[in-house]
């Protein structure tokens, strides 16, 4: 991922800042500028999520994505926050322990790095709660 | 709107074609379809080319113009040619654009083609290009791969409906059997449930034999208004429905992770347009980029009750001669998956079946067929219904 694309969403990634629609009381993470339910009638404000959630589904990736080779096998999951939204995250745990419904909490971790430039990306991963 | 018919088709061989270039293979498909149709190439009014990632796979953009040029349709004729992109649904969408151009009356004789040349880069680079069909900023950055996303669909399907690894493997076994009877297929050797389950794990629970391969290939079809189709061919195949739908780009935002709502929506619109139901369909080419994808597809299109797609496959109801023949070509799994070409290849397969030209994999008395082409993890779905009778 390019440096610019990463840095634009740095605050969101570092601090679990998403959005909340005041009109329909829906929460979004990743953040959205338009509420998909209310569209033009939506009223979007920033929202910092409390953090805990549980695993909706998961996989253990053995054939890694480019740049993630040294991490394999790693656990990738869809996490649902207590406020409702779902997003994709790595779970830092023993692959044998992961299961659907597992309670998890956020941690600040290195996500990856950009090729030879050595630019390191940090953000939120999850660990068993 | 005018009725539209297919008057010519051609698939190239699918596989690793180190010795051939991107433009070689798509021109072979295009010329083949023109020859099959009996029209003269200079009668073409327009061309739509499905291609996902020419920029990443062969460092070539401006695909529409390139193909028109190397097909000999630019000099003097200046035939308009448009590249269409919707990730792995690019081919299906190019076909849809071509159908609409003819149906609207704006163009008469139109070509829809699809092409991808994926083996000119390393498999890591190819996987990375494919991952661009998901959400780079919120899935890719976490190390998501396409097998990983479909593995998360599979895990939830297993948890919710009791779908088993053996049932998923039975999709691959069936499609390899069908592919073994398809001369263009990338993999022609039959496999067993055990060989799938013993193949290396890519993204738990998906083994490498649950995944479609990296493939080079091209396909093309020629369309004409139904009223004049008989001037060119004795066996025109009619388009009864064209439908397309969108969904969230990221898997995590779906209403139900085990259902591709874009497939449900496009399928429903197509059946309404054709005034048909799943019971009318003799064969369907579905988007089996992974074995779980075929299980979801037959459920989402209404051939199986939700949650019963795995069992239906295991029971042989989707084999040739079963209740509905699914992926007679061998599907993406065995025939191969040159991403931008797949949607057109599906149309070519159904056309050959409806014409009775499918050889050993022929579905007896096939009258109506369907194609189902998905982009990404389900953000785009394109569905068509084709028939022998107008
Ligand atoms: Zn809202």
Question: Taking residues B252-260, what's their average pLDDT?
Answer: 98
Q: How far is B60 from chain A (nearest CA, A)?
A: 21
Query: Is the per-residue pLDDT at B324 higher than 90?
Result: yes
Cis peptide before A73, with omega less than 30 degrees from 0?
A: yes
Q: Which pLDDT value is given to residue B364? A: 97
Q: What is the pLDDT of residues B204-220, one digit of tens each?
A: 999 999 999 999 999 99
Cβ neighbour number for residue B159 with a 10 Å cutoff: 15
Provide the whole-model pTM.
Answer: 0.97
Question: What confidence category does residue A118 fall into, taking pLDDT thresholds of 50, 70 and 90?
Answer: low
Q: Which pLDDT value is given to residue A115? A: 66
- Are the C-beta atoms of A69 and B123 separated by less than 8 Å? no
Mean pLDDT of chain B: 97
Tracing tokens 């073409």 back to the chain, one arrives at: B44
Question: Taking residues A95-112, what's their average pLDDT?
Answer: 94
Q: Which pLDDT value is given to residue A122? A: 84
Tracing tokens 């070539």 back to the chain, one arrives at: B60
Using the Cβ of A63 and the Cβ atoms of chain B, whether some distance falls under 8 Å is answered with yes
Q: What is the pLDDT of residues A36-69, one digit of tens each?
A: 999 999 999 999 999 999 999 999 999 999 889 9
Alpha carbons within 13 angstroms on the beta-carbon side of residue B260 total: 38
State how far the Cα of A6 lies from the Cα of A123, in Å rounded to an integer.
10
Tracing tokens 């991922």 back to the chain, one arrives at: A1
Output the CA B257–ligand 1 centroid distance in Å.
Answer: 21
Q: What is the pLDDT of residues B351-363, one digit of tens each?
A: 999 999 999 999 9
Query: Is the per-residue pLDDT at A3 higher than 80?
Result: no
Q: What is the pLDDT of residues B39-81, one digit of tens each?
A: 998 899 999 999 999 999 999 999 999 999 999 998 899 999 9
Question: What confidence category does residue B232 fall into, taking pLDDT thresholds of 50, 70 and 90?
Answer: very high
Task: Determine, for residues B257 and A63 on separate chains, whether the beta-carbon distance falls below 8 Å.
Answer: no
Q: How far is A22 from chain B (nearest CA, A)?
A: 19
Output the CA A25–ligand 1 centroid distance in Å.
Answer: 6
A29: helix, strand or coil: coil
Cβ neighbour number for residue B60 with a 10 Å cutoff: 15
Query: Is the per-residue pLDDT at A116 higher than 80?
Result: no
Q: Where on the phi/psi map is residue A25: left (φ > 0), alpha (ψ -120 to 50), or beta?
A: left
Q: Please, what's the b/e burial string for A10-27 (b: 16 or more CB within 10 A of its CB; e: otherwise)? A: eebbeebbbbbbeeeebb
What is the distance, to the nearest Å, from the Cα of residue B89 to the centroid of all Cα atoms in its chain?
7
Predicted ipTM of the assembly: 0.95
Tracing tokens 């398809």 back to the chain, one arrives at: B182
Q: Which pLDDT value is given to residue B312? A: 98
State how far the Cα of B235 lies from the Cα of B135, in Å rounded to an integer.
43
Question: What confidence category does residue A121 fall into, taking pLDDT thresholds of 50, 70 and 90?
Answer: confident
Q: Which pLDDT value is given to residue A2? A: 66
Cβ neighbour number for residue B307 with a 10 Å cutoff: 15
């Amino acid at each position: 991922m390019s440096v610019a694309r990463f840095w634009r969403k740095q605050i969101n990634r570092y601090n679990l800042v998403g959005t909340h629609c005041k009109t329909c009381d829906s929460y979004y993470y990743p953040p959205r500028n338009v509420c998909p339910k209310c569209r033009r009638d939506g009223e979007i404000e920033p929202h910092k999520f409390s953090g805990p959630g549980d695993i909706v589904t998961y996989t253990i990736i053995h054939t890694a994505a480019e740049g993630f080779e040294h991490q394999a096998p790693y656990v990738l999951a869809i996490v649902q926050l207590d406020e409702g939204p779902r997003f994709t995250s790595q779970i830092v745990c023993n692959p044998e322990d992961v299961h659907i419904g597992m309670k998890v909490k956020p941690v600040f971790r290195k996500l990856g790095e950009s090729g030879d430039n050595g630019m390191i990306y940090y953000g939120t991963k999850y660990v068993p709660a | 709107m005018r009725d539209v018919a297919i008057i010519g088709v051609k698939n190239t061989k699918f596989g690793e074609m180190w010795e051939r270039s991107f433009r070689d293979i798509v021109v072979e498909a295009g010329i083949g379809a023109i020859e099959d149709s009996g029209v003269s190439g200079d009668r073409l009014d327009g061309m739509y080319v499905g291609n996902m990632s020419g920029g990443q796979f062969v460092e070539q953009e401006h695909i529409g113009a390139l193909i028109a040029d190397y097909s000999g349709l630019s000099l003097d004729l200046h035939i308009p040619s448009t590249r269409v992109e919707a990730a792995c649904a690019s081919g299906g969408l190019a076909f849809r654009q071509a159908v609409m151009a003819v149906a609207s009356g704006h163009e008469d004789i139109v070509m829809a083609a699809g092409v991808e040349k994926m083996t000119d880069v390393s498999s890591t680079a190819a996987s990375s290009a494919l991952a661009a069909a998901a959400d780079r900023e919120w899935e890719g950055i976490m190390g998501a791969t396409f097998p990983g996303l479909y593995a998360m669909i599979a895990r939830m399907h297993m948890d919710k409906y009791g779908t088993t690894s053996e049932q998923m493997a039975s999709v691959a076994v069936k499609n390899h059997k069908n592919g073994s009877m398809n001369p263009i297929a990338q993999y022609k050797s039959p496999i067993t449930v055990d060989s799938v389950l013993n193949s290396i794990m890519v993204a738990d629970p998906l083994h490498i034999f649950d995944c479609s391969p990296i493939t080079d290939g091209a396909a093309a079809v020629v369309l004409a208004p139904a009223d004049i189709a008989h001037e060119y061919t004795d066996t025109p195949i009619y388009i009864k429905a064209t439908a397309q739908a969108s969904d969230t780009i990221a898997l995590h935002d779906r209403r139900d992770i085990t259902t591709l709502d874009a497939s449900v929506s496009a399928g429903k619109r197509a059946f309404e347009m054709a005034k048909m139901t799943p019971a009318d369909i003799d064969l369907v080419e579905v988007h089996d980029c992974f074995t779980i994808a075929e299980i979801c597809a037959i459920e989402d299109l209404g051939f199986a009750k939700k949650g019963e797609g795995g069992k239906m496959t295991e029971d042989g109801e989707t084999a040739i001669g079963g209740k509905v023949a699914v992926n007679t070509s061998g599907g993406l799994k065995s025939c191969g998956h040159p991403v931008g070409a797949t949607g057109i290849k599906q149309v070519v397969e159904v056309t050959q079946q409806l014409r009775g030209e499918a050889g050993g994999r022929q579905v007896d008395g096939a009258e109506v067929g369907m194609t189902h082409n998905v982009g990404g993890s389900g953000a785009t779905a394109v569905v068509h219904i084709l028939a022998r009778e107008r």
